[in-house]
Amino acid sequence: MEKNNRREFIKTVGVGAAAVGAGIAASAVPAMAKKEKTFRWKMCTTWPPHFPMLGESADKIAQWVDEMSGGRLKIEVYGGGELVPAMGTFDAVSQGTVEMGHAASYYWAGKVPAAQFFAAVPFGFNAQSINAWILSGGGMELWEEVYSKFNIKPFLAGNTGAQMGGWFNKEINSMEDFKGLKMRIPGLAGKVLAKAGGSAILMAGGDIYTNLERGVIDATEWVGPFHDLKLGFYKAAKYYYYPGWHEFGTAFECMINKDAWNLLPDDLKAIVEAATYKSNIWMLSEFEAKNNAALRELVDVHKVQLKEFPKPVIKEMRKLSQEVLEEQAASDPMFKKVYDAFLAFQKNIYGWNKLSEEPYQELKKL
């Protein structure tokens, strides 16, 4: 029922029911009022408003929930800074300032280091495997445990697929080339770079291009061809490297304040959950379908030089990544618990992928 109709209806029924007798009306009207209750939620995001793919997917979740609920759950979506700062999203959801947040869980590394496994860690899962781990391999139970003390219920809500290794103004031919390299690369991957002798430089997204152009940094990672083309990095760097060893399939999250969640009737809970599943597959499919056209434009029109990190470099970076993860695990029991589960699932999925996805990807070489 439309909201306006409902108001009209309640008015009508109110008078009518009184005329019939309180006994019967009491069993009927409250049941309806409960069922037809309309919820208005706020969703903060860590993205600029309507940011391609990421902000769009938050918008779509709100739209799908609206459609599925017949307007009974309205979610207003805010870009980062519109209601709270982008990086305040976690706290806003935790404290109930807003009911919902849309982000990537590795943004909360400073507060909840273990959360990073549910977005991306260096040499972590691709999209298909992180989905399998979280949805069917015990990952979600761990994620819920990690977030429970913050009064947040997490949902998996999107994935970029594999990202690129980044934009460089010098070639990377051996590990030596990382020595002294100033690169914008956040989180655990930044620690890996530091181990390799480089410097991970932090800066706001809006400053990256200028700093790269002026040589304040020698390199930066961002997302993949679709986004990187839009940001024009090809004008400030010569080489575009793959693979994105630090983010092979970055997952996004919907966080919901548990008190708000518990107030929802079961049908709306099911609707919100389904919207996150839909968003997950929608976003990945969009990235997969669109990345190559952007890549072609970068290479064919803008003459970007595509480069693959040499295999010995990848192998060494993986070793350094393991060291970084192990060091963090040694100082944080919850991080260790999730890391152990991550490693067990990695062994499991690698065993199967060896026979399935690996030969599929190798067809291109035949």
Tell the smallest beta-carbon distance from residue 20 to a copy of itself (Å). Answer: 5
Tell the smallest beta-carbon distance from residue 59 to a copy of itself (Å). Answer: 15
Query: Between the CA of residue 38 and those of 31, 73, 231, 286, what are the distances in Å?
Result: 14, 6, 40, 32
Tell the smallest beta-carbon distance from residue 193 to a copy of itself (Å). Answer: 18
Exposed, middle or buried, 301 (CB in 10 Å: 0-12/13-18/19+)? exposed
Alpha carbon distance 250, 130 (integer Å): 9
Query: Between the CA of residue 82 and those of 47, 49, 94, 95, 204, what are the distances in Å?
Result: 10, 8, 18, 17, 17
From residue 205 to residue 234, the character string flagging contacts with a copy of itself as x (rule: CB under 8 A) and all else as - is -------------------xx---------
Stretch that binds a copy of itself, among 40-48, 147-155, 242-250, 252-260 (CB under 8 A): 242-250
161: alpha, beta or left, given left = phi > 0 and alpha = psi -120 to 50? left
Residue 278 binding a copy of itself, by CB under 8 A: yes
Residue 133 binding a copy of itself, by CB under 8 A: yes
- 74 or 182: CB nearest a copy of itself: 74
Per CB under 8 A, the list member of 126, 151, 211, 305 interacting with a copy of itself is 126
Stretch that binds a copy of itself, among 174-182, 204-212, 228-236, 292-300 (CB under 8 A): 292-300
Per residue in 226-246, is it b (16+ CB within 10 Å) or e — as a string?
A: bbbbebebbebbebbbbebbb
- 105 or 163: CB nearest a copy of itself: 163
Q: If you compute the radius of gyration of the chain from its CA atoms, what whole number of angstroms results?
A: 24
Residue 70 binding a copy of itself, by CB under 8 A: yes
Alpha carbon distance 235, 302 (integer Å): 8
Residue 171 binding a copy of itself, by CB under 8 A: no
Residue 355 binding a copy of itself, by CB under 8 A: yes
Window 35 to 54, contacts with a copy of itself (CB under 8 A) = 35-36
User: Which one, of 253, 223, 94, lies nearest residue 163 by Cα?
Assistant: 223
Query: Between the CA of residue 32 and those of 12, 25, 27, 246, what are the distances in Å?
Result: 14, 11, 9, 51
According to DSSP, the β-strands at 182-184 and 166-168 are: unpaired
Window 178 to 197, contacts with a copy of itself (CB under 8 A) = none
Stretch that binds a copy of itself, among 43-51, 103-111, 230-238, 264-272 (CB under 8 A): 264-272
Per CB under 8 A, the list member of 202, 263, 293, 301 interacting with a copy of itself is 293
Residue 323 binding a copy of itself, by CB under 8 A: no
Per CB under 8 A, the list member of 212, 295, 325, 338 interacting with a copy of itself is 295
Residue 285 binding a copy of itself, by CB under 8 A: yes
DSSP at 310: P
- 77 or 275: CB nearest a copy of itself: 275
